[in-house]
Structure 1
Amino acid sequence: MRDDEDRSVTRRTALAAASAGLLAGCSTYGSGATPTSAAQQQPAPAAGTELGAAADVPVGGGKVFADKQVVVTQPTAGTFAAFSAVCTHQGCTVDKVADGKIACPCHGSEFAIADGSVANGPAARPLEKKTITVTGGRITLA
Structure 2
Amino acid sequence: MSQATLAAVAAVLAGCGSAGSDTALGPGVLPKPPVISTPMIVTLANFPALATVGGVARVSSQPAIALARTASGLVGYSLECTHAGTTVELRSDFTLRCPNHGAEFAFDGTWTGGQQQTSSLFSVTVTPDASGETVTVTT
TM category, shorter: 0.5 to 0.7
SS in structure 1 of the partner of residue 62 of structure 2: helix
1:117 aligns with 2:110: yes
Indicate the residue corresponding to 1:134 in structure 2: 128
Indicate the residue corresponding to 1:88 in structure 2: 82
Which of 65, 73, 93 aligns to 1:99? It is 93
Bigger Rg, which one: 1
CA apart distance, 1:100:
4.3
CA distance change for structure 1 residues 111 and 57 in 2, over 3 Å: closer, same or farther? farther
CA separation in 1, counterparts of 2:39 and 2:17? 35
Which of 15, 29, 37 aligns to 1:25? It is 15
Code of the aligned partner of 1:46:
S
* 1:42-81 Cα shifts (integer Å, max 9, x gaps): x72125223x3313151222122232221211134x8211
SS in structure 2 of the partner of residue 44 of structure 1: coil
Contact 1:87 1:123 in 2 (8 A): no
Unmatched runs of 5 consecutive residues or more in structure 2: 26-30
Q: Name the count of aligned residue pairs.
A: 123
Code of the aligned partner of 2:135:
I
Contact 1:75 1:100 in 2 (8 A): no
Indicate the residue corresponding to 1:34 in structure 2: 21
CA separation in 2, counterparts of 1:35 and 1:123? 20
TM normalised by structure 1 equals 0.65
SS in structure 1 of the partner of residue 13 of structure 2: helix
CA apart distance, 1:19:
4.3
CA separation in 2, counterparts of 1:17 and 1:140? 51
CA separation in 1, counterparts of 2:6 and 2:37? 43
Indicate the residue corresponding to 1:53 in structure 2: 43
Contact 1:61 1:98 in 2 (8 A): no
CA distance change for structure 1 residues 21 and 36 in 2, over 3 Å: closer, same or farther? farther
CA RMSD of aligned residues (A): 3.1
| Percent identity for Structure 1 against Structure 2 | 28
